[in-house]
Structure 1
Amino acid sequence: MRRRVMAAAIGVMAALGAPEKARAYDIDCAIMLCMAGGFPPSAVCARAYRTMIRRITPWPSLPPFGVCTFAHVPVELGGPGGEGELDTSLPEYEWLNRTHVIWFTGQSYETRDDGRKWRWSIKSCDRENRICRYIQRVSGADRPWSETFISEGGQVVKFPSRGRGEFYTRGILVEYGDYEGNMGHSEWFSY
């Protein structure tokens, strides 16, 4: 009996005192890898998804992700162990410069004299949200927005779904390009 109690106590101490698993990548790498796979169900991708959404939903938003540099990986795990800056103006990082955060705001409302009206805007910002421009900006339209629009990256992107009756909706998506120049985008995230 004493041996069982002692074994159980050692087991509990070992479990509680076990160090956390070392992560051999930073969160930016996790976001990029999980986004490429459509954020498959896993603890790592769930954390990456939450981090990306936390970065892009406040205004002004933070960049959805940076460069996957392994900058914070300790030397013992094969990383640089530092926090060096990376020159993203180099040609091999052109894909990162094609990343845009696209903001959508849409509203339907009833007027006394003119009936139902719609207003919406699509704004595209660079990956750091420093430079933004409107792709579309419509106010007082007699009909709702169309099904699609053309993004800054030349993609045909579907608008978020419309509500019925009076409504106000906001959404955000991330448009990105890979190192070969292929463009893609995330789904709309409502906030």
Structure 2
Amino acid sequence: MKHVIHSVATATALTISGLMASSGPAQAYQVDCAILLCLAGGWPASAPCAHARAVFIRRITPWPIEPPLQIWRCPMGVSFNDPSPMSPMERLNDTTFRDPPEPQESTPIPLVHVQADEQADIDISGDAFDFVRSIRVYHIQYRQHENRDGDCNRSDSTRLGSYGVQGDYRWTRSTVGQVPAASGLSIPNGCGSYFYRSVFVDWRDHAGNYGSEEVRY
């Protein structure tokens, strides 16, 4: 399965460029299919996967801080009724490369919610999709300083965005102690004056390779 996903991701890098040319509402789900494929394959070096990764990072860049992968916008289950059933990754590849639907003038542009109850339209609970659940988004907001009385005042409003079993996205409380070492966060010893605010995202591709990005603001 790992080889299949990497091969599909590489194929994506070669053929998805035509789909990336349009950024209208009808293209939104194709971008998320591309993010899913490119992330699984370790972001193959190509302009299309670079575009998918740029969208992935732009979504966590304030404001608002959005789910970087919106898997509910990638209809992987559309081919379930085909005469020859395909695997989930084959359906994903087919969906990504199919001709885009004609835009409907009467259809409003959907709003993207910061926290989403939506989820994948197929069962992704198996380990083939563990890479989706590996994505973590840390909204880091930390401050410390010593007051006039010599007391150390610390404020930690860090939150964690993560994906559930079926790709639903949730924010929960976290702490700077949970932030991965790959972040630029570096709290000094004692109570030296320090302020840090960023959005940090990390993940593992289907082969288990680690990656991360951080946006300071």
Matched, 1:23 2:16: no
Q: Which has the larger radius of gyration?
A: 1
TM-aligned CA deviation for residue 64 of structure 1: 0.8
Taking a change above 3 Å as real, the CA distance of residues 131 and 106 of structure 1, as seen in their structure-2 partners, is: closer
Amino acid at match of 1:124: L
Matches within 5 A, 1:28-177: 28-31=32-35, 33=38, 36-37=42-43, 44=48, 47-58=51-62, 61-67=65-71, 69-70=92-93, 71-75=95-99, 86-91=121-126, 92-114=128-150, 117-127=153-163, 128-134=168-174, 136=175, 149=177, 157-162=181-186, 166-177=193-204
Which has the larger strand fraction? 1
Amino acid at match of 2:202: E
Confirm or deny: 8 A CA contact 1:88 1:94 kept in the other structure: no
Stretches of structure 2 that go unaligned for 5 or more consecutive residues are: 1-16, 21-26, 75-91, 103-119
| TM-score (normalised: structure 2) | 0.48
Confirm or deny: 8 A CA contact 1:72 1:81 kept in the other structure: no
Percent identity among equivalent residues? 24
For residues 100-122 of structure 1, give each alpha carbon's deviation from its aligned partner in whole angstroms, at most 9, with x where no partner exists: 21221122334111166444354
Distance (Å, rounded) in 2 between the aligned partners of 1:188 and 1:171? 7
| TM-score (normalised: structure 1) | 0.53
User: Which structure is higher in RCO with an 8 Å CA cutoff and minimum separation 6?
Assistant: 2
Matched with 2:215 is 189
Stretches of structure 1 that go unaligned for 5 or more consecutive residues are: 1-20, 138-148
Confirm or deny: 8 A CA contact 1:100 1:175 kept in the other structure: yes
TM-aligned CA deviation for residue 168 of structure 1: 3.0
Which has the larger helix fraction? 2
Taking a change above 3 Å as real, the CA distance of residues 58 and 95 of structure 1, as seen in their structure-2 partners, is: same
Aligned length: 146
